[in-house]
Amino acid sequence: MKTDEFYMNRCIQLAEQALGNTYPNPLVGSVIVHQDEIIGEGFHHTAGENHAEINAISSVKDPGLLKESTIYVSLEPCSHFGKTPPCADKIVETGFRKVVIGTLDPHKKVNGKGKAIIEKAGIEVVSGILEENCRQLNRRFFTFQKKKRPYIILKWAESGDGFINKDFKPTQISNALTKQFVHQLRSEEHAILIGTKTALTDNPDLTTREISGRNPVRILIDLDLKVPRDFKIFNTEAETLVFNLFKDSVEGNLKFIRIEKENFLENLMQKLYEKQIQSVLVEGGRFTLEQFISTGLWDEAIVIKNENLRLGNGTEAPDFDFDLADSKQFRDNSIEFYKNIQPWNSPTAL
């Protein structure tokens, strides 16, 4: 007989298929089990569409079995009307024998209310199955709800002698494989951020052109509005937020957002929270990256290294002395993964 953990792990696998496509909603997977056999599966594909539980219910070929079945869901069923009706009500209406929940939803409109609705109807509810795994799946969503800020991932590439460019000009450090990895990473995060200097020096378009995936929301920190309007970051391929000292305006896919220079990062986090930006991949230069590093405002860091490449001069890589969590080899490139020692769900972290 398979365990609750087995079926919850399947819920997580299903949910992961939508990584990058559900913002600002969380990743959720659901499995329906009858007599130790899976008879239905589903996951939340994108915001505004059916939630995982509804997709799982709809996939069952014999609805007559539902009242004798257990439904597993990685995140507590919602209890409020949004773009879709409450899943907790649908579960009660269906009359499942049992409901198994991975973790409760930290959203203030749910947070135990969905579970309570189901229990009040007399349906058995078990929660906390693979709870940490389910929270890790939705670390971006949990950070956003608990800390009122996006989940922050820092990323840069450096040579074997510690430079991110040569002669202060754009320099190819990554190989073709790691470049595809980076574009996949971009597609999975809600937004991508650079500063003025990177925009002016590299003229990047910050898209996912190397793979088939969604383009992230682009965030440009350009306080003095120095970046020319014919630069790639202003093209129509993605929504672009331009934080500056002068104006608030909307010009097509461009949103200019006025921000105070004092307490800049704190103000930035507040405005991104208001825009419901759930995660940010910081691909800026040394100055921008070190602002996040020095304040401890980061959750993960990804460093691509080309040990065989020696540049000799240029912009030095950020000062970064933290314990390595994992590493992978992509031909002559290594990718190092770091996690902030302050837990992402710590209530005291910024």
User: How far, in whole angstroms, is CA 134 from its chain's centroid?
Assistant: 14
The distance from CA 209 to its chain's CA centroid, rounded to whole angstroms, is 19
Which tokens is 281 given?
């991949």
Distance CA 345, CA 135 (A): 9
Q: Residue-wise over 242-251: b if at least 16 C-beta within 10 A, else e?
A: bbbeeeeeee
- 299/143 Cα distance (integer angstroms): 9
Beta bridge mates, 244: 258
CA 159: distance to chain centroid? 28
Q: Exactly one of 41, 53, 76, 188 is catalytic; which is it?
A: 53
Tokens (6 digits) for 154: 């820092």
Helix, strand, coil % over all residues of the chain, rounded to 5: 30, 25, 45
Give the number of C-alpha atoms closer than 13 A to the C-alpha of residue 79, restricted to the C-beta side: 18
Q: How far is Cα 299 from Cα 215, in angstroms, rounded to an integer?
A: 22
CA 23 → CA 4, 26, 44, 103, distances in Å? 28, 7, 11, 19
Rounded-to-integer distance, Cα 168 and Cα 316, Å: 9
- In one-letter notation, the amino acid at residue 320 is F
Q: Which two tokens stand for residue 15?
A: 């949910």
The single-letter DSSP state of residue 229 is T
Q: Are 242 and 254 in contact (CB under 8 A)?
A: yes
Active-site residue, 239 included: no
- In angstroms, the Cα distances linking 303 to 75, 173, 306 are 31, 11, 10
Q: In the numeric block, which tokens belong to residue 16?
A: 């992961």
First to last CA, the chain: 44
Active site residues: 53
